[in-house]
Structure 1
């Protein structure tokens, strides 16, 4: 069972998420494989529960403004070069797989085999959360996210 704050849970439910959500990930997996991304079991599990969600949440700095993230690696694959993700992988010391986009689609969300989630744009890379659930909570709550050197 996913543990979210009441605010994050409400935002997820507005996006039509539920605890028992289970989507077919075969198209995501096919897309990731064709792009050469490592398909970790933790990624598939995350996509099974959250794939296809577009979540609107308060902006992390301007709380009266809205921001959003989208969990869809098929769409994300068309917005980033795999070589850029390889650069991010080298920086964190682990192979990364794309899972979606955040910060109004300016940053690519990637997940490592241990479940840690990062967001990258050009040379900027931030650590979003220690798991997919933690990353969703961080994005929805506006928690500070440290930059990866």
Structure 2
């Protein structure tokens, strides 16, 4: 995994992440399938390294917020009908796997079959970044996302 910018590295380390971290994804997979969501290899790979983390950081407006990588908590915020009918059709490959949530105005974090990150919320769906390091950087550094 490439090095993260200092702010991102600090937030992840404070949450318990370290290079080489590995957690079981069996519970995440069961929770995903029980909710009739797609379980993607890219989601499994991400959750194997980052699953269970709760990161806190400061946004550009100086508010403190968080991101977490818990399927059960994030799924409670996701409109499943909207995911299938509005969001997935806008994504290449038309498949998204849930991996977490960011911000206090909830943004559900999703990955596609190639590992690109998206965020879904009441306002719509956004492309965050094409890789894990860039996605985590964009979220923690409060960079703009591209609306689809």
What pairs with 1:62-141 in structure 2 (closer than 5 Å)? 62=61, 64-86=62-84, 87-93=86-92, 94-104=94-104, 106-141=106-141
Aligned to 2:4: 4
TM-score by length of 2: 0.91
- For each residue in 1:33-76, what CA deviation from the matched residue of structure 2 results, as whole angstroms up to 9, or x when unmatched? 111222111110100000111111111x31x2211111111222
The answer to whether the 8 A contact 2:77-2:106 is kept is no
The answer to whether the 8 A contact 2:99-2:109 is kept is yes
What pairs with 1:8-19 in structure 2 (closer than 5 Å)? 8-19=8-19
Residues in 1 aligned to 2:40 and 2:91: alpha-carbon distance in whole angstroms: 16
Could you say what secondary structure the match of 1:9 adopts?
Answer: helix
Moved over 6 A (4+): none
The answer to whether the 8 A contact 1:23-1:48 is kept is yes
Is 2:45 the partner of 1:45? yes
Could you say what secondary structure the match of 1:27 adopts?
Answer: helix
What is the CA RMSD across the aligned residues, in angstroms? Answer: 1.4
Residue 105 of structure 1: how far off its partner (Å)? 5.2
Query: For structure 2, which runs of at least 5 residues remain unmatched after alignment?
Result: none
TM-score by length of 1: 0.90
The answer to whether the 8 A contact 1:2-1:19 is kept is no
